[in-house]
Amino acid sequence: EAQVTQNPRYLITVTGKKLTVTCSQNMNHEYMSWYRQDPGLGLRQIYYSMNVEVTDKGDVPEGYKVSRKEKRNFPLILESPSPNQTSLYFCASRGPGEQYFGPGTRLTVT
Amino acid sequence: GIQVEQSPPDLILQEGANSTLRCNFSDSVNNLQWFHQNPWGQLINLFYIPSGTKQNGRLSATTVATERYSLLYISSSQTTDSGVYFCAVMGGVSNYQLIWGAGTKLIIKP
């Protein structure tokens, strides 16, 4: 079954404590990306990756890092989370046609 | 870049009713998808439909690429159809990134 998985699904953390949200896809897709979704602002792209070792900034990259060492994995790293990064995060993977989304990670930074 | 407009922004219906959601886009596209975001926040792929017509159970979609619009039809609505429906497109200079509409919020009352 085509799938994008994310972990954790829910996370409450404190300001400044580094965290990583993992993302994995089983479709051998080259393109992967991260989005955040906030009320009234829709989905905004954070980073994307066209292939292994190729990453680029999306619309709202400040405060985030990513890496793409393997085709299937695309973790999102918050080195020093702040309360304005409280949001719903989605990982996505795209092949020649449609884009698939992970189940989302609800992050709260206090 | 491409502009995506969805209408109506909000729709409240009784269970069993039919509905039509519209997505207009400002330039030619090579990718158009419809998504349903359920009340738990999950983004579910409904259709990948850059042109033509597709059906999946009670849902169907039509994209008329030459006239730059797509329609999503929901028949015999059920309460589980509630949520936000997004249209997202790719094309033109944004050939690597999905451009999102603001969504149609659908509430189905029992």
Separation in Å, CA B64 to CA A22, A43, B24, B49, B51: 38, 25, 10, 10, 6
Which of A31, A33, A103 has its CB closest to that of B42? A103
Average pLDDT over residues B65-79: 97
Neighbours of B5 (CB within 10 A): 14
- B91 CB near a chain A CB, below 8 Å? no
Local confidence band at B95 (pLDDT 50, 70, 90 cut-offs)? low
Predicted confidence (pLDDT) per residue in A57-76, tens digit: 999 999 999 999 999 999 99
User: For residues B32 and B63, is the Cβ–Cβ distance under 8 A?
Assistant: yes
- A99 CB near a chain B CB, below 8 Å? yes
- B96 CB near a chain A CB, below 8 Å? yes
- Residue B92 is predicted with a pLDDT of 66
- Residue B66 is predicted with a pLDDT of 94
Test the A interface: residue of B29, B43, B104 with most A CBs within 10 Å:
B43
Whether residue B100 and residue A42 make contact (CB cut-off 8 A), yes or no, is yes
Residues from chain A that touch B100, judged by Cβ atoms under 8 A, are 42-43
Predicted confidence (pLDDT) per residue in A5-54, tens digit: 999 999 999 999 999 999 999 999 999 999 999 988 889 999 999 999 99
- Residue A95 is predicted with a pLDDT of 85
